[in-house]
Amino acid sequence: MRTGLTRGGREIHLDGEVYTHTLASLHLALKPASYFEIGTLHGATLRLATCPAVAVDPTFQLAAELVGGRPNWRLFETTSDAFFAEHDLKALLGGPVGLAFLDGMHQFDFLLRDFINTERACDGASVVLMHDGLPRDTAMTGAADATSASRFPGYWTGDVWKLIPILRRWRPDLAVAGLDAQPTGLIAVTDLDPDSRVLSDNYDAIIAEWTPVSLAAYGLDRLFDEAQVVPARDWRRRFGPEEAPNEPIGWKRRLRHLLPV
């Protein structure tokens, strides 16, 4: 991981593998009995699952090859709040979540609720990944239509970065790591406890404390120090040596165009 100065202020360069490679390799290494994701859209990440899966998205736009012929997938076209209010995730999967990928609304209050509800369907062996937790600059964290000020316009992370300091403070029992996966990092969480009610019991206080906090005020340096960023490849290899095939050429071209070499 490198750092450098740009016109917009300090910028972090994440040099790790593309996040979909991390997720694909985890599927191979973990061989999870079940998979859960929020924020599916075209299905680029859902397609990696060969186990029973539950996916939630208010507006699915799945690629044609992903529609039909997958009896072990259950798709819910609704918001994550509505899904959790109406369904028992653990019952749908027939057991605890093996691997989860949370990539829904890029607002920390939404992600915090998603994490709380997902953890209740996990066990101590579950792995949860949250996308976009390591913004490259502060411009990525503002309004979705204001990323033109970023060196990487179009990459909107919102303020989900706040999950890192929130979990560090409120849930020190969790193993939380920032992964250097391109383009905007992953937050990896293990040692989950489905019986914990710390976050839900203190949800209102957490939201009140963190809503007014901006990344510009908090500090990009501080966030990356607190995230204890590690190489995504090294972190996932703790679960096994399996490697996913190389990323599709389209991803490589896009990253080569946008990201520093």
pLDDT, residue 250, reads 58
Cβ neighbours, 10 Å, residue 181: 27
Angle, helices 220-227/163-170, rounded to nearest 10 degrees: 50
Q: Which of the residue ranges 6-15, 63-72, 248-257 has the most confident prediction, judged by mean pLDDT?
A: 63-72
**Structure tokens that stand for 52 in this block:** 């029973």
Res. 7: pLDDT tops 50: no
Of 2-11, 23-32, 102-111, the least confident: 2-11
Mention every residue, 6+ apart, whose C-beta is less than 8 A from residue 65. Answer: none
**Percent of the chain at pLDDT above 90?**
67
* Residues sharing a CB contact under 8 Å with residue 240, sequence separation 6 or more, in sequence order: 28, 29, 30
Strands 73-76 and 127-131: unpaired
> Please, which pLDDT band fits residue 241 given cuts at 50, 70 and 90?
confident
Contact 58, 40 (CB under 8 A): no
Q: Cα–Cα distance between 195 and 82 in angstroms, integer?
A: 22
Tally of domains in the chain? 1
The string of DSSP letters for 134-191 reads S-SSGGGGS-GGGGGGSSSTT---TTGGGHHHHHHHH-TTSEEEEE--BTT-EEEEES
Q: Domain containing 223: what range?
A: 2-258
CATH number at residue 111: 3.40.50.150
| pLDDT value of residue 155 | 77
pLDDT at position 42, please? 87
70: exposed, middle or buried (Cβ count in 10 Å: 0-12, 13-18, 19+): middle
**Each residue of 110-158: pLDDT tens digit?**
999 999 999 999 999 999 999 999 998 887 887 666 666 667 667 778 9
pLDDT at residue 101 greater than cutoff 80: yes
